[in-house]
Amino acid sequence: MIRVGWCGSPRAQRLCYEHLEVVEVQQSFYHPPRLSTVERWRHQAPADFAFTLKAWQLVTHEPSSPTYRRLRMEPPGPLDHYGSFRPTPEVCEAWERSRDLALTLQAPIILFQCPASFIPSNEHKANLRRFFYEIDRQGLALAWEPRGEWADEEIAELCNELALIHVVNPFQRPGVTDEVAYFRLHGRGGYHYQYTDQELAQLGGWCTRYPMTYCLFNNTYMFEDALRFMELVRGAKSRE
């Protein structure tokens, strides 16, 4: 099964709900919306429409990250208590807020996107292990997008140990987990990119290797590329 959509906002609801199958909610990363807001999104969406959700940056990113400029509050705790999956009450509270949003949306997956500064140090690996061992997932699947100099062997070991889905841009590197694929398509060489028909056909081939694939476009032409890819996927199914 392949679900096709984009990374962005459910605000363009008519486009999302009428033409796509999934949206990755981005607001939850910068500053989480209210539960009443996401409850309305779920109510307005078709029953078979899926949401995934990006975990709040207070879990993954340290306050020195430029992404904190879009945080509509001052972190109430000491700044060195945030980010990098630190074993602090503040990170735990940020996780619980992300989890509650995902449960309200009936989202099957929460994505943890890490900055390149989250390197494979002993401290970071220890934080990662402690965080994912201790949190209450409440049945949610959790996906991890490492950036920077992580080796495939290190990622595979942690994903297998902690039951995580490896998130990748498949045009940059293959994923190392097997059951569910989570592809984030940022454009080749930059955000202002439109995928060719040949590239979308190549993407379709990669998707068939998994029982379930989420394909989320995150480029300037995300809507157009998602529609073109859906047509390709449906055409392949009709010929089976």
CA gap 39, 42 in Å, rounded? 5
Assign residue 23 the CATH number of its domain.
Answer: 3.20.20.410
pLDDT for residue 219 is more than 90:
yes
The enclosing H or E element of 165 equals strand 164-168
Q: What is the pLDDT of residues 150-204, one digit of tens each?
A: 999 999 999 999 999 999 999 999 999 999 999 999 998 888 999 999 999 999 9
pLDDT for residue 14 is more than 90:
no
CA gap 166, 150 in Å, rounded? 12
CA gap 47, 29 in Å, rounded? 24
- Number of domains the chain contains: 1
DSSP code at position 51? E
Establish how many alpha carbons lie within 13 A of residue 110's alpha carbon, considering only the half-sphere containing its beta carbon.
Answer: 30
pLDDT for residue 240 is more than 70:
no
Q: Which residue has the tokens 């060489």?
A: 189
CA 208 to chain centre: 20
CA gap 202, 45 in Å, rounded? 30
Task: Give the model's confidence band at 18: pLDDT under 50 very low, under 70 low, under 90 confident, else very high.
Answer: confident
The domain in which residue 232 lies consists of 2-238
pLDDT for res 208: 92
CA gap 39, 191 in Å, rounded? 30
Q: What does the chain come to in residues? A: 240
Could you tell me if 107 and 24 are in contact, meaning their C-beta atoms sit under 8 angstroms apart? no
pLDDT for residue 25 is more than 90:
yes
Q: What is the DSSP string of 97-140?
A: HHHHHHHHHT-SEEEEEPPTTS-S-HHHHHHHHHHHHHS--TT-
CA gap 163, 85 in Å, rounded? 16
Overall average pLDDT of the 111-117 stretch: 97
Alpha helical stretches, state H, the chain: 13-19, 27-30, 35-44, 57-60, 89-105, 122-134, 152-162, 197-207, 222-238
pLDDT for res 181: 97
Q: What is the pLDDT of residues 36-85, one digit of tens each?
A: 999 999 999 999 999 999 999 999 999 999 999 999 988 889 999 999 99
pLDDT for residue 10 is more than 60:
no
Residue 49 burial (C-beta neighbours within 10 Å; 0-12, 13-18, 19+): buried
Q: For the chain, give the mean pLDDT.
A: 94
Quote the longest CA-to-CA distance of the chain.
58
